[in-house]
């Protein structure tokens, strides 16, 4: 790996190493939750100084695809757990209770152009469209519409709606080997249509916050499009500016 050159194509050595590690993690050489080799070993194996390895690993840690634990090792992230959309809302009740989910419908559909583009698929490719409701203490609080490309999630097609787990992402990891490392949420405001309002026990036209999510796997590919609706009066979010 030592080329003698300052760095290839203007990319720093640690960035190259980070990319190398990233690919191995995505490729499954080190599984989700498992430890990657110790820094000293990586340094030796790739022929770079310890500091360079540390800088590369720091990049991956900042990207969230790896987590360092002092004294134990560096681990491939387990991925997002799932109840994360609730962070946009403040619902009453025993807050420590985990949310449950009820799948209402799961059908196979063809991707439209915009959806295919976002998911890195071709227009007309097959996908699963899932309608589900998230409940807190048995009370419906969020209505969700998921879109999952069938190419990655064939295993879910035959799954009866009752057997879907409460948390989607751990299920995706277990059944389909897909780890969700990152998600981007776009918030906006709207009013509930009759069907969604009925699901949430709210009047038609009630003010609601809409969250459009794109979820990404370890390789940075978008593997889910999701739209979530929740009561606007329960909306609450904290953002930091600097």
* Interacting span for DNA (CB under 7 A) from 51-59, 97-105, 147-155, 232-240: 51-59
> What span, in angstroms and rounded, lies between the C-alpha atoms of 215 and 217?
7
93 in Cβ contact with 85 (< 8 Å): no
Residue 132's H or E segment, with its range, is strand 126-136
Which residue from 183, 198, 219, 221 is in contact with a copy of itself, where contact means CB under 8 A?
Answer: 183
CB under 8 A: which stretch of 13-21, 31-39, 131-139, 232-240 binds a copy of itself?
232-240
| Residue 237 C-beta: closest distance to DNA, Å | 30
Binding to a copy of itself, residues 41-60 (CB under 8 A) = 51
Transcribe 44-74 into DSSP letters.
HHHT--HHHHHHHHHHHHHHTSEEEETTTEE
Token code pair at residue 227: 């739209």
Q: Which one of a copy of itself, DNA, none interacts with residue 7, CB within 5 to 8 A by kind? A: DNA
Distance of CA 34 to the CA centre of its chain: 19
CA pair distance 9, 101, nearest whole angstrom: 49
Q: Is 49 in the site for DNA (CB under 7 A)?
A: yes
84 touches which of a copy of itself, DNA, none (CB within 5 to 8 A by kind)?
A: a copy of itself
Candidate residues 13, 22, 132, 213; the one interacting with DNA per rule CB under 7 A? 13
The SS3 assignment for 20 reads: helix
Q: According to the binding rule CB under 7 A, does residue 77 interact with DNA? A: no
State the residue for tokens 């035959």: 158
Considering beta carbons, is residue 106 or 218 the nearer one to a copy of itself? 218
Contact residues for 62 (Cβ-Cβ < 8 A; gap 6+): none
Report the distance separating Cα 219 and Cα 22, nearest Å: 8
Q: Can residue 73 be called a binding residue for DNA (CB under 7 A)?
A: yes
Select the residue interacting with a copy of itself from 33, 47, 64, 93 (CB under 8 A). 64
Closest CA relative to residue 153, chosen from 171, 176, 182 = 176
Q: Which of 3, 9, 70, 241 binds DNA (CB under 7 A)?
A: 70
Residue numbers at the binding site for a copy of itself (CB under 8 A): 51, 63-64, 80, 84, 181-189, 207, 209, 232-233, 235-242
Residue numbers at the binding site for DNA (CB under 7 A): 2, 6-7, 10, 12-15, 35-41, 47-52, 54-55, 68-74
């Amino acid at each position: 790996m030592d080329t003698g050159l300052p760095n290839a194509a203007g990319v720093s050595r640690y960035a190259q190493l980070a990319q190398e590690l990233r690919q191995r993690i995505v490729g499954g050489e080190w599984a989700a939750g498992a430890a990657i080799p110790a820094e000293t070993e990586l340094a030796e194996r790739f022929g770079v100084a310890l500091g360079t390895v540390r800088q590369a690993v720091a990049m991956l840690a900042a990207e969230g695809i790896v987590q360092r634990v002092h004294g134990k090792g560096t681990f491939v992230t387990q991925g997002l757990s799932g109840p994360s959309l609730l962070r946009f809302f403040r619902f009453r009740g025993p807050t420590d209770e985990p949310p449950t989910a009820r799948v209402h419908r799961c059908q196979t559909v063809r991707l439209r152009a915009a959806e295919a583009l976002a998911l890195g698929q071709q227009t007309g490719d097959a996908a699963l469209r899932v309608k589900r409701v998230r409940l807190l203490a048995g009370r419906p609080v969020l209505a969700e519409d998921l879109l999952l490309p069938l190419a990655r999630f064939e295993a879910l097609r035959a799954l009866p709606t009752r057997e879907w787990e409460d948390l989607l992402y751990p299920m995706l990891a277990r059944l389909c080997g897909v780890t969700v490392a990152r998600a981007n949420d776009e918030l906006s405001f709207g009013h509930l249509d009759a069907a969604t309002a009925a699901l949430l026990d709210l009047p038609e036209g009630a003010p609601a916050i809409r969250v459009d999510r794109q979820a990404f796997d370890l390789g940075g590919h978008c593997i889910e499009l999701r739209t979530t609706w929740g009561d606007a009066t329960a909306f609450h979010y904290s953002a930091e500016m600097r």
